[in-house]
Amino acid sequence: MKIAILSDIHEGLNHKKTGADIVGLLKESLAQHMPDVFIISGDMTAGPEKSLALLKQLQNELPDLQILFVHGNHDLYHEDSTNAYEKLLEFKGNLGNGPVSLNEEWVVIGDGGWYDYTFGIEGFTEQEFSAGRFNDFTWPDKAYAHWPEDDVTVTNKYLTKLESWLSHHQEKNIILVSHFVPFAHFVQVKKDLSWDFFNAMMGSKEIGKLAEKYGVKKMIFGHIHTRYHEEFKGIDCICNPLGYYPHEWRSNSAQEEINSALKIIEI
Ligand SMILES: [Fe+2]
Ligand SMILES: [Fe+2]
């Protein structure tokens, strides 16, 4: 079984900056590689309505492909992020609806998740991370995502849900998917506070602890726009973002970038 993986497509920004039909090119690339499953680990675009429309479009155009999705922070940009979360559940392949068995052996479990500052550097308080402001930069989620509860409480709710699903599927090989980063190992520390301060918003160590506790075989995530595919703590870890044009792309051609970025694995 072939599984394609991509995150952080950021259709809105990338379309605007390149002029290219990002989803159309993605469809072409998928049609060429012919995977059985396509896992999108968040940040399809900004806002739930647009993300949902793009997911439905892609699924309609490739009816034989099983598209699985978790939201990113950008997909939840809305005046009410709880509402945005629920809106995105309308997409059948949203893993927030529950685990998906691929076959007798493999199951995919996931949800977008959030961050609880467990990757936050020392010297700052929870209040400072919660305000999300360092010097003159404010973390965009503070302006565009609106949860009724604080970040830590929001993250804990995801963790509880994920643990319940994981505990019920231990007999299978598990692929765990989140948008946010599960291990500090993948969070870059640059010794530059204007960067490192925002590591608090990269994810949660607790996701990684769950992955270890339940012996997941593969961990797929996104959010950090750096591509990784390596074994860490015995888990096949894959972070495979498309990222922003131009500074995070390797090619000037959207077609070439999408084609080369799409990761295909076999199980
Ligand atoms: Fe992103
Ligand atoms: Fe993100």
95 neighbors 108 (Cβ within 8 angstroms): yes
List of E strands, the chain: 2-6, 37-41, 66-70, 100-101, 106-110, 133-134, 137-138, 173-177, 218-221, 228-232, 235-239, 263-266
pLDDT at 37: 98
Mean pLDDT of the chain: 98
pLDDT at 237: 99
The amino acid present at 26, given as its one-letter code, is L
Up-side HSE of residue 64: CA atoms within 13 Å toward CB? 7
User: What is the rounded distance in angstroms from the CA atom of residue 107 to the CA atom of residue 128?
Assistant: 39
pLDDT at 8: 98
Its CATH class, for the domain covering 2-266, is alpha beta
Q: What is the pLDDT of residues 102-138, one digit of tens each?
A: 999 999 999 999 999 999 999 999 999 999 999 999 9
User: What is the rounded distance in angstroms from the CA atom of residue 123 to the CA atom of residue 106?
Assistant: 42
Q: How far is the CA of 44 from the centre of ligand 2 (A)?
A: 9
pLDDT at 129: 98
58 neighbors 86 (Cβ within 8 angstroms): no
Supply the Cα-derived Rg of the chain in whole angstroms. 17
Please state the pTM of the whole predicted model: 0.98
Q: What is the pLDDT of residues 170-214, one digit of tens each?
A: 999 999 999 999 999 999 999 999 999 999 999 999 999 999 999
Closest CA to 5 of 92, 68, 53: 68
Q: How confident is the model at residue 23 (pLDDT cuts 50, 70, 90)?
A: very high
Would you list the domain boundaries of the chain?
Answer: 2-266
Q: How far is the CA of 267 from the centre of ligand 1 (A)?
A: 26
User: What is the rounded distance in angstroms from the CA atom of residue 209 to the CA atom of residue 212?
Assistant: 5
pLDDT at 118: 98
pLDDT at 210: 98
Cis peptide bond N-terminal to 99, omega within 30:
no
Ligand nearest to the CA of 112: 2
The amino acid present at 117, given as its one-letter code, is Y
Q: How far is the CA of 254 from the centre of ligand 2 (A)?
A: 20
Q: What is the pLDDT of residues 203-260, one digit of tens each?
A: 999 999 999 999 999 999 999 999 999 999 999 999 999 999 999 999 999 999 999 9
Q: How far is the CA of 39 from the centre of ligand 2 (A)?
A: 15
User: What is the rounded distance in angstroms from the CA atom of residue 60 to the CA atom of residue 236?
Assistant: 31
Per the rule left: phi > 0, alpha: psi between -120 and 50, beta: everything else, 19 is left
Average pLDDT over residues 72-79: 98
DSSP state letter for 120: P
User: Percentage of residues in the chain with pLDDT exceeding 70?
Assistant: 100
Question: Which residues lie at CB < 5 A from ion ligand 2?
Answer: 43, 72-73, 223
Q: How far is the CA of 171 from the centre of ligand 2 (A)?
A: 31
pLDDT at 244: 98
